[in-house]
Amino acid sequence: MAVHYHLLWGRRGFNYNRPMAIPKQQDEERFAERRCDMVDRQLRARGIADERVLSAMRRVPRHRFVSADLWAEAYADHPLPIGEDQTISQPFIVALMTEALCLHGEEKVLEIGTGSGYQTAILAALAGAVTTIERSFTLSRGARERLTQLGYRNIAFVVGDGTVGLPAEAPFDRILAAGSLPRIPQGLLDQLSNDGILVLPVGDRTLQRLVQIRKTGSSHTTEDLGACRFVPLIGKEGWSV
Ligand code: SAH
């Protein structure tokens, strides 16, 4: 697997030993209440019905995926900055995409765009194994530390261009792109297993449609899940910088 951490190890500007902030127990209880609220008001009320998805979103501590100064906003109905000019997606979008993947518990999943690792955690809670690929070494390393600390053991982290997928590890039962693409890459369809599902935002750089693609043999069907606005995926099958 193409993990390139060693190439960047020792580059200046990273604090490899920085401690990760850990909330106090009473704060954790308050955050757990906010999560229940988030699930009821932002997800269930807007039509997310998969109980496994709702349960995962109630359990995964979203505040641990943003910096401590943003903890108060962690359960708000919008994206938040995570550094490197990137954002953690709005809870509803994470739930919508996850629901569209129709996960039952055994699937092998490829996620493109690790970011903070929040969506990765939701996928790891609902599938068998997740491989997550991220272009930014810094974000990948942060997500790996965070998810390891939170106890996830079924996630593989890769640094690279996810717009071409990960042919060496294919096929995948599910593929999710957490950033926008100008068109559906044939390579991702090829790396999907039979009856596999691909969920991605496709369109122009500022506005896209969220689509769910189901592969059946050599053909596929596409369902439009609505308008959305994602950060661009930069890469061979994505956008230029
Ligand atoms: N779902 C994530 C947010 C993802 S934002 C979360 O919950 O935090 C999209 C991410 O895709 C960013 O982190 C960005 O750095 C990454 N990205 C951009 N181009 C990419 C590419 N070609 N391959 C992999 N990751 C890419």
Residue pLDDT, tens place only, 162-179:
999 999 999 999 999 999
Q: Cα–Cα distance between 213 and 216 in angstroms, integer?
A: 10
Which string of b and e fits 135-145 if b means at least 16 CB within 10 Å?
bbbbbbbbbbe
Q: How far is the CA of 28 from the centre of ligand 1 (A)?
A: 27
Q: Which CATH number goes with the domain that contains 219?
A: 3.40.50.150
Q: Does the pLDDT value for residue 13 go beyond 70?
A: no
Which residue out of 89, 116, 140, 180 is catalytically annotated? 89
In a domain, 201, yes or no: yes
Is 186 within a domain?
yes
In a domain, residue 87? The reply is yes
Domain count, the chain: 1
Ligand 1 atom closest to the CA of 136, numbered from 1: 15
For residue 26, the CA-to-ligand 1 centroid distance in Å is 32
Going by pLDDT thresholds of 50, 70 and 90, the confidence category of residue 19 is: low
Helices 118-126 and 137-149 pack at an angle, to 10 degrees, of 50
The answer to whether residue 235 sits within a structural domain is: no
Give residue 231's pLDDT. 95
Distance CA 117, CA 191 (A): 22
Compute the distance from residue 170 Cα to the ligand 1 centre, in Å: 20
Per-residue pLDDT reduced to its tens digit, 120-175: 999 999 999 999 999 999 999 999 999 999 999 999 999 999 999 999 999 999 99
Question: Does residue 74 form part of some domain?
Answer: yes
CB 35 within 8 A of CB 75: yes
pTM of the model: 0.92
User: Can you tell me the distance from the alpha carbon of 161 to that of 185, in angstroms, rounded to the nearest whole number?
Assistant: 13
Any domain includes 240: no
For the stretch 67-126, pLDDT in tens is: 999 999 999 999 999 999 999 999 999 999 999 999 999 999 999 999 999 999 999 999
Q: Is 180 annotated in the active site?
A: no
Domain presence at residue 241: no
Q: For 223-239, what is each residue's pLDDT tens digit?
A: 999 999 999 999 999 99
The set of protein residues with a Cβ atom below 6 angstroms from ligand 1 is: 82, 86-89, 112-113, 115-116, 118-119, 133-136, 139, 161-163, 178-179, 231, 233-235, 238
Identity of residue 18: R
Neighbours of 72 (CB within 10 A): 11
Query: Between residues 17 and 189, which one has the greater pLDDT?
Result: 189
Instruction: Look at ligand 1, atom 14, and give the residue with the nearest C-alpha.
Output: 113
Q: Give the least confident one: 19-33, 114-128, 182-196.
A: 19-33
Ligand 1 atom with the shortest distance to the CA of 113: 11
The H-or-E segment that residue 112 falls in is strand 108-112
Q: Which structural domain, as residue segments, surrounds residue 135?
A: 4-14+23-229
Residue nearest to atom 4 of ligand 1 (CA): 115
Distance CA 140, CA 134 (A): 6
Closest CA relative to residue 105, chosen from 93, 123, 80, 86 = 123
Tell me the pLDDT of the chain averaged across its residues: 92
- 134 Cβ partners below 8 Å, 6+ apart? 113, 114, 115, 140, 143, 157, 158, 159, 162
Peptide bond before 232: cis, by omega within 30 degrees of 0? no
CA 88 to ligand 1 center in whole angstroms: 9
